[in-house]
Amino acid sequence: MIAELGLAALWLAAALSVLQLVAGALGQRENSGELATLVRPAAVIQGVLAGISFVMLLCLFARTDLSVKLVAMNSHSDKPLVFKLAGAWGNHEGSMLLWVTVMALAGALIAAAEKRLPEKTMRATLAAQAFVGIGFYAFLLFASNPFERLPQPALEGLGLNPLLQDIGLAFHPPTLYFGYVGLSIAFSFAVGALLTRQVTPDFARAMRPWVLGAWIFLTLGITAGSYWAYYELGWGGWWFWDPVENASLMPWLAATALLHSASVLASRDALRAWTIMLGVVAFSMSMVGTFLVRSGILTSVHAFAVDPERGTFILALLVLYIGGALAVFGLRAGTVSEGQRFSLISREGALVFNNVMLSAILGVVLIGTLYPLLTEAFDVRVSVGPPYFNPVGAIFTLPMLAIMAVGPLLRWRQDRLERISKPAIAAAVAALAALVIVLLIGGVSVLPLLGLALAAGLAVASFMPLRGRKLTRVPTATWGMVIAHFGIAVALFGMASESAFSEERLAAVEIGGSAQVGKWNVALDAVDPVAGPNWTALQGRLFATYGDGSPIELGPQSRDFWSPVQQTTESALVTRWNGQLYAVLGNQNADGRWQLRLWWKPFVTFIWYGGMLIALGGLLALIGRLVGDIKRRRIRARGDVRRADEAELAAARPAAAS
Amino acid sequence: MSALQPKHQRLVLIGIAMMALIGAGLLAAYALRSEASYFYVPSQMAEDPPEVGQPVRLGGMVREGSLATLDDGVTIAFVVGDGEAQVPVRFAGIVPSLFVEGSGVVAEGRLAGDGTFVADNLLAKHDENYVPRELQEMSEHQARDIVAGTEQLGANRVMNNQNAPR
């Protein structure tokens, strides 16, 4: 019954999205009458129905209803409840339903709350959103129905992939999905504004919270995914340039560019066509990512369900949406009127530079990710990895970070370089000092060396916008920018430090023996069998001592899950302020010795602290913007347009008071 | 510097953006020619071996009975085959959980002078044996694909385990 209810809700939601599209499209005519007023209610009800459908799926998984195919395939009655629920989206059909649900709920929120845009643009936006939604509903209902029943109930479920039975990963896909879907909203706004030729600062302000929200979720998702891969896969690496990782990085790069250009449009009314273009590109990257991950076209270490038929479906959607949006863009971009002008040396100029660099990095990653597919068409198999991505990406990343350090100090519209020479010199001195220190330590290759120097310079520069200001009166959004930029410096420091100073030790150790890595002495005390809810494991008991410190116990495991039958490696970590000790227990050799793999990774945790700071910065910016918007709306409600404009300008004033 | 005329400004911006993006494309194309590592199956490697020391990937099946641990206790030796040719592989490290005899593997590394493949990394798909429901399609779709062909064996193994009494 629950499954049928969920399916019925899904059909109804799909029907409402058709209504939303038709009403929104016909509502573009002058005398559309009552039809046009249906758009907003349709969007709200569609959101509620999709939500009901997803809740029904959660119920099925919570109860482990084995008459439903998806549950039988992806769950097991022995699993802890939280992983039963995570099973609802830890598979192809469920994750697609989650995608549609989040998108519909977002549409409902826009329809209910967004009052800033002209009604006609709003209708066009909701119609565009329905257009995207219909494709996904069709995909679910015709190609991957999550509520399909089995001819007869299964006796027991097949279980959830043990590697996904990890609290970090259970919530990782929804986090990324919120990001992807947020970008689909930005896309709808861009298409809506193009259709009605209303590319205005108001449009950018309406779109900005969605871009910011999507960007925060993408940042968190990428950070969490990186940490998960680091501790769960047992390889000790935090980024592999795997196509599935790139699939989440590419929308992030586009969203970062979009975020900054939308800010220029919102506060300075420039970069109109470019912002629209980025809105289209950012969502395209979400779709490309979905296509790469879901189609099985790539042999990736992370690859999910392999299914060429579904791949074709997503490819068709991709061509339809992106092709359609680009066609509209081509036809209409010329009619988007000129924005405000600015000099090359100005805040806008710096942001344009960063936008171009981000786009170039995006291009480099996209080409590297798709290249193996291209050559495979000619029957040549290649794999593209760090030797390509690191240096080629760095060529664009390093100058971007350098400009990022000084950009926020520049004034809008027009500025002189001499005015910011003092803070620029301070940052350069910090970078040079770091460079000299690392050179004295020696043995560090070029990229980590430059990374460490830039991280030092950027860390100093990121706080410069606060210079000479009363800290209590700095707008929340500016704090957000400062913290996010500082987060980039922190993450960069972690990455460079990890690749420059990591030490590795691989040893076969007998019980009672020990191995050294860096300043650590690690003694193997015992290896014992342990049992969990749906696994058994061998657990090493290690005592790790840093220099003369007291020993810390840690227990890396080698786990055996029984449904499905699979082994996983559970690494053990000791986190100190200056780095992490990473231990993996391997197999026992015939002579009784145990394989141990140990790493000492100085400051590796800064990578993820940095990621969290970046997301926190985004959150502060979002809060600052939303509060600012509410204030402006109140002022505007009193009919005082002039003061509203002043408030917007005050929020956009250059951060550095000189 | 004074603000440029609007028309000119747009042209300058578009020009700079195009130059940067085309530059990125050319650079990427150039780097890919030299840095992309090639993927070999054993029969290709036997027929036309890569240069010694050039980073490549080798994919195939771990031959039953070939897996051995060397005296240092951390280096393993095994043979990767594809039904036609065999390549001996050496790897120092802890093997991935899914790495067992008879399973598929992708080894990243380089060919040594003595014809042994020295791996820096062994990749086994973490959800490899996972989705048995596509078994039918898999066998059609991937029969020509040696690495994916090994997945089918893995899937069979899971199916058998599923049917076994618990």
Point out the residue among B3, B32, B134 whose CB comes nearest to the CB of A341. B3
pLDDT digits (tens, 9 = 90+) for A606-618: 999 999 999 999 9
Chain B nearest-CA distance from A233, in A, is 8
Tell if the CB–CB gap between A564 and B73 is shorter than 8 Å.
no
pLDDT of A322 over the 60 cut: yes
| Residue to substitute from B4, B8, B131, B156, interface A, most A β-carbons within 10 A | B131
CB < 8 Å to A589, chain B: 69, 73
Q: pLDDT value at position B13?
A: 76
A558 touches chain B (CB under 8 A): yes
Tell if the CB–CB gap between A383 and B37 is shorter than 8 Å.
yes
Tell if the CB–CB gap between B127 and A163 is shorter than 8 Å.
yes
Q: pLDDT value at position A128?
A: 93
Chain B CA closest to residue A158: B162
Tell if the CB–CB gap between B6 and A338 is shorter than 8 Å.
yes
pLDDT of B133 over the 50 cut: no
Q: What percent of chain A has pLDDT over 90?
A: 49
pLDDT of A517 over the 50 cut: yes
CB < 8 Å to A233, chain B: 96, 126
Strongest mean pLDDT among A175-189, A410-424, B2-16: A175-189
Q: pLDDT value at position A639?
A: 67
ipTM above 0.90, yes or no: no
Chain A CA closest to residue B21: A360
pLDDT of A197 over the 90 cut: no
Q: What is the mean pLDDT of residues A428-450?
A: 92
pLDDT of B113 over the 60 cut: yes
- Check if the beta carbon of residue B142 is closer than 8 Å to that of residue B152: yes
What is the amino acid identity at position A462? S
pLDDT-based confidence at A553, cuts 50/70/90? very high
Tell if the CB–CB gap between B126 and A507 is shorter than 8 Å.
no
CB < 8 Å to A156, chain B: 166
| Residue A74 half-sphere exposure toward CB, CA atoms < 13 A | 29
Tell if the CB–CB gap between A595 and B94 is shorter than 8 Å.
yes
What is the amino acid identity at position A637? A
pLDDT-based confidence at A64, cuts 50/70/90? confident
Q: pLDDT value at position A649?
A: 58
Directed axis angle between helix A119-138 and helix A2-26, to 10°? 140
Mean residue pLDDT of chain A comes to 87
First to last CA, chain A: 68
Tell if the CB–CB gap between B9 and A383 is shorter than 8 Å.
no
- Check if the beta carbon of residue A251 is closer than 8 Å to that of residue A179: yes
Size of interface A-B (CB pairs under 8 A): 177
pLDDT-based confidence at A644, cuts 50/70/90? low
Task: For residue B59, give the nearest of B103, B1, B27, B23 by alpha carbon.
Answer: B103
Tell if the CB–CB gap between B94 and A508 is shorter than 8 Å.
no
Q: pLDDT value at position B97?
A: 59
pLDDT-based confidence at A579, cuts 50/70/90? very high
Chain A CA closest to residue B95: A586
Q: What is the mean pLDDT of residues A433-442?
A: 92
CB < 8 Å to A356, chain B: 16-17, 20-21
Q: How far is CA A408 from CA A13, A296, A463, A522, A646, in A?
A: 45, 42, 10, 47, 21
CB < 8 Å to A381, chain B: 38-40
Contacts 24+ apart (CB under 8 A), A622-625: A622/A209, A622/A212, A622/A213, A622/A216, A622/A480, A623/A476, A623/A480, A624/A475, A624/A476, A624/A477, A624/A478, A624/A479, A624/A480, A625/A205, A625/A208, A625/A209, A625/A212, A625/A477
Q: What is the mean pLDDT of residues B111-118?
A: 91
Point out the residue among B72, B127, B133 whose CB comes nearest to the CB of A508. B72
Tell if the CB–CB gap between A158 and B132 is shorter than 8 Å.
yes
Q: What is the pTM of this model?
A: 0.87
Q: pLDDT value at position A461?
A: 94
Sign of the C-alpha dihedral computed for residues A229, A234, A236 and A237 taken in this order: negative
Task: Report d(CA B107, CA A558) in Å as an integer.
Answer: 22
Q: What is the mean pLDDT of residues B99-109?
A: 78
Point out the residue among B36, B40, B106 whose CB comes nearest to the CB of A371. B36
Q: Which two tokens stand for residue B6?
A: 């609007």
Contacts 24+ apart (CB under 8 A), A373-381: A373/A297, A373/A298, A375/B36, A380/B38, A381/B38, A381/B39, A381/B40
Out of A129-138, A154-163, A519-528, B157-166, which region has the weakest mean confidence (pLDDT)? B157-166
A94 touches chain B (CB under 8 A): no
Q: Which two tokens stand for residue A644?
A: 């509203």
Q: pLDDT value at position A152?
A: 82
| Residue to substitute from B74, B90, B105, B140, interface A, most A β-carbons within 10 A | B74
Task: Report d(CA A304, CA A296) in Å as an integer.
Answer: 7
Q: Which two tokens stand for residue A514?
A: 């020990």
pLDDT digits (tens, 9 = 90+) for A333-362: 777 776 787 888 888 889 999 999 999 999
Chain B nearest-CA distance from A638, in A, is 35
Chain A nearest-CA distance from B30, in A, is 10
pLDDT of A168 over the 90 cut: no
Q: pLDDT value at position B129?
A: 36
